[in-house]
Amino acid sequence: MGRSYIVEEDVEGYLSKLCSQLTGPVTGLLIGQSSVQRDFIVMATRTPQNESADAGKSVDKEWVSEHARQVSRMLPGGLSVLGVFMVSESDAKDTLTTLRQFLFSVENLISSEQLWMPAEDDVKDCVTLHINPKTRKTVCRTFDVKDPKSVAKPADWKYQSGVCSSWATVSCWLNIDLLVPLPGSITCTKPVDDCLKEELKVWAQQIERGVCLIEGKKLPEDSEIKTGQKKNVRQTYTAQLLITPDGQMVPDVVQQCGGSLSVRGAIHSRAFLHSNKPKAKLAEKLLKRDIISTVATRVQMLLEEPQTQTEENKERKQTEQFCLPRRVFCPVKATSPLCVCDYQFSDEGLSEMTDRFKEMLDIEATEADLDITQELIAEVIESDAKAESLTEEAEPPHPWRNNYIGVAMATAVALLASAASMLYLSDA
């Protein structure tokens, strides 16, 4: 017996619309949540047009995979890319090999950015879907994406109304205080990005070891989250994550380095659970993964910015100031608690956010739909930057060093003041 996919009926309408507008093969992503018993598909989004390719004549595997990477960054805890689809007049058997290639390429690229450790109960099967626009015949197959030799297995694809309506939401605000040593040019041949990723993995392990309190209590793993909420009311829960410092002694972590990166501040994290009786273990796992993902995504986005890549100024200051982007949420639809997210840099307007939601997820959102209340726009605090520079040694900067410094700000819970945070990267 193959896996069973319960699919939101809006997805059926979306795929039907693609069939009616078809001018050539259309590919896209299937988004939802996996569980041991069955999977839930809540969204489908087509791959944006590749202007450099011959429209309608070819489908680029790398283009599909890059779209999946960008979309994965926009999914809060509990939502992930579960598979790929294709709408084409070709025979389903002829497209299966192509879809399999897409699926494994997407999985490899997305998993390369994930810093958390896999869990024993993680579902390894992902889905491929082929739709013939003329006959509307649907062929659904799954592959074990962790097994390169995996063969196609049949799966059950069922449309159902209200799949998005019963999800529980767990959210938390977390103070981040992360110090990352960066390599020197002589002692380390690794790129700064690689060293940064290794240190973020160490931090991610610390997050995974943290103690999660839901509604102020440490619940047994298999227990249900209960707050006495009424039926037909959206289930929302507040969590806290208690982090203990690593047990290493100071002499154990002394090392030669060319600089350091300090990320400090408050972030908002959110996870969704498809269940009328959400379990504490799943809520904790998804929330921790979202915390790790949102921090790693922001740091990576900062490093990808052209202004941090420039090498033109050879006489660089010992500190440079950049702002981390803030997280902005957008509802999947008005009647659902589910949201997707994007990251807004300080020089971007909300219209640029709505454009990205349309391009990446094919969501028609207005500026009024966006939830910008969870985190504030980052600002550079000059006094803090100057104070930090006074603590540096009066050693001339080296042109080969990548130096970043920025500030991020976010709101804490309603009863607390806004929490200011800073991202420093300075010479040793």
Residue 396 has pLDDT above 50, yes or no: no
Q: How confident is the model at residue 297 (pLDDT cuts 50, 70, 90)?
A: very high
Please report, as a single letter, which amino acid is at residue 363. I
Instruction: Give residue 212's pLDDT.
Output: 95
Instruction: Say what the pLDDT of residue 226 is.
Output: 73
pLDDT band for 275, please (50, 70, 90 cuts).
confident
Does the pLDDT value for residue 420 go beyond 50? no
The residue-averaged pLDDT of 86-96 equals 90
**Among 78-82, 218-222, 311-315, 365-369, which stretch is predicted with the lowest mean pLDDT?**
311-315
8 A C-beta contact, residue 30 and residue 45: no
Q: Is pLDDT above 70 for 162?
A: yes
Q: What is the mean pLDDT of residues 50-73?
A: 82
Q: Residue 100 above 50 pLDDT? A: yes
**pLDDT number for residue 267:** 92
| pLDDT value at residue 353 | 96
Beta partners for residue 416, in sequence order: none
Name the residue type at position 284: E
Backbone torsions φ then ψ of 382, nearest 5 degrees: -60, -40
Element housing 338 (H / E): none
Torsion of CA 279, 283, 286, 288, to 10 degrees: -140
User: What CA–CA distance (Å, rounded) separates 292 from 21?
Assistant: 39
For residue 86, the surrounding DSSP H or E stretch is strand 80-87
Which of 69-78, 146-155, 159-168, 192-201 is the least confident region? 192-201
Reduced DSSP (H G I as helix, E B as strand, rest coil) percent helix, strand, coil of the chain, to 5: 30, 30, 45
Residue 318 has pLDDT above 80, yes or no: no
> How far is the first Cα of the chain from the last one, in angstroms, to the nearest whole number?
59
- Residue partners of 279: CB distance under 8 A and separation at least 6: 221, 222, 223, 224, 225, 273
Lowest-confidence pick of 192-201, 332-341, 350-359: 192-201
Please give the pLDDT value at position 58.
63
Question: What's the farthest any 2 CA atoms get from each other in the chain?
Answer: 73
**275 vs 425: which has the higher pLDDT:** 275
**pLDDT score recorded for residue 305:** 72
Residue 427: per-residue pLDDT: 46
What H or E segment, with its residue span, contains residue 14?
Answer: helix 9-20
Residue 387: pLDDT above 80?
A: no
- Per-residue DSSP letter, 319: B
Task: Count CA atoms closer than 13 A to 39's CA, side-chain side.
Answer: 27
In the chain, the amino acid numbered 396 is P
pLDDT at residue 368 above 80? yes
Pairing of strands 125-131, 80-87: parallel
Q: Is the pLDDT of residue 397 over 80?
A: no
Domain ranges of the chain: 4-160, 167-206+244-276+286-426
Lowest pLDDT segment from 92-96, 230-234, 323-327: 230-234
pTM, two decimal places: 0.85
DSSP string spanning 153-166? EE-EEEEETTTTTT
| Residue 186 pLDDT > 70 | no
Q: What's the pLDDT at 313?
A: 41
Name the CATH code of domain 4-160 (choices 3.20.20.120, 3.40.140.10, 3.40.109.10, 3.90.25.10). 3.40.140.10
Share of the chain above pLDDT 90, in %: 54
Specify the pLDDT at position 395.
32
161 or 263: which leads in pLDDT: 161
Please compute the mean of the pLDDT values over residues 210-221 and round it to a whole number.
93
Among 247-256, 305-314, 364-373, which range has the highest average pLDDT?
364-373
316 neighbors 403 (Cβ within 8 angstroms): yes
Where do the DSSP E strands lie in 297-381? 326-331, 339-344
- If we measure between CA atoms, which residue out of 107, 116, 46 comes closest to residue 80? 107
- What is the predicted pLDDT for the residue at 366? 95
Would you tell me how many other CB atoms lie within 10 Å of the CB of residue 201?
15
More confident residue, 319 or 88: 88
> What confidence tens digit (pLDDT) does each residue in 231-256 have?
556 789 999 999 876 655 444 556 66
Please tell me which residue, 268 or 92, carries the higher pLDDT value. 268
SS3 sequence, 381-408?
CHHHHHHHHHCCCCCCCCCCCCCCCEEE
Whole-number average pLDDT of the chain: 80
